[in-house]
Structure 1
């Protein structure tokens, strides 16, 4: 059951990467799709796709960000209402109405969208907030999509939005728990250390464990000399340690 799978997937990266394929497989007539999500810059960014003629360039996906009202995607984001666009030519013409800043990247993306009989664009709601836009493309001629059909698609899209929000909240809670555990571990080694050297060594070991890495260093600021020096390190090349053992600090008192 797709709904159960969506809700039970708690890794946001895994969920977003596979989401469009799952949606396309259960929506009658859908052959391909795009998923746009709100990012930290206050724009919509292409995060997932399925069924395109070729995968978009990752650099294009990183650059291409749409503002409210920009192109069809920005229009749906701004209005918060689903829209059906019939005809591939009409869709590409309207979707391409973007700023000069994004025009080239949008044209490149649209060339990878397979010819479709109609496109359905659906906002992803979390309460009154819109976190993204879902696009579904139907390759073969379809019966007219009525208000009831759109409402069903909107309900499903909101389930998708809820699954994304749930996974993102779960990831944030895990990260917060991880940070609290790390702070607790560092506090323990600080309280148990016999001297500064042991304190720094134990603290670095805990930090490397938390970050799941094997190399790192802690530096101390020598106010008298106005420099940072490596107090303790793990896994760094000897050449690096010799070269960067001490570094001057600008404007040091």
Structure 2
């Protein structure tokens, strides 16, 4: 037991995050909603989904919000057909990607950029920013307050599998305790970490926040990378 504890201590004291397993696993109810939507030829309303799943509409709505935020479900208004606001319609998207395939492809691309680009970090940052724009747009991003923009970006990172932890005294400081591409990040930190920072900056822009002061310190402390997502409190 003493030796086991010693090994545990040596692992957790290593700088940087622990390996990630991709996006956060879905709850059983959220997975059931996805399964129902996969079998539908047409989008469903919230009320119809609640009847099929056998859950309260408020519970189904909460799960749908998560699925929409993660890009797994699309939400659109039904055509007007009388008094009142048209209902939301929900349908499946094609955004589900195998984590292992994604990780392998990302590692190969990082290696290729490192070998062929005269400015690997700069090129990776640009690619990450474009990706961040796309991810935020898929979540229906719109300009908001700087604090709300930061919240949305932290939620995005959580859905991507980074398990972010915000400091209570300084919400602008975020610890990334997992990394979905940890092996590739160790091999090519200039590329992989630049992509991750680019994602943050691109998403912040979509939410109307200034991304310039965002910074990522890879492997900066035991068990985490440190990310700064402005604004900082006065």
Quickly name the TM-score band, shorter chain normalised. under 0.3
Q: Whose Rg is larger? A: 1
TM-score of the aligned structures, taking structure 1 as reference length: 0.23
Structure number with greater CO (CA < 8 Å, separation at least 6) is: 2
TM-score of the aligned structures, taking structure 2 as reference length: 0.24
Report which of the two has the higher share of strand.
1
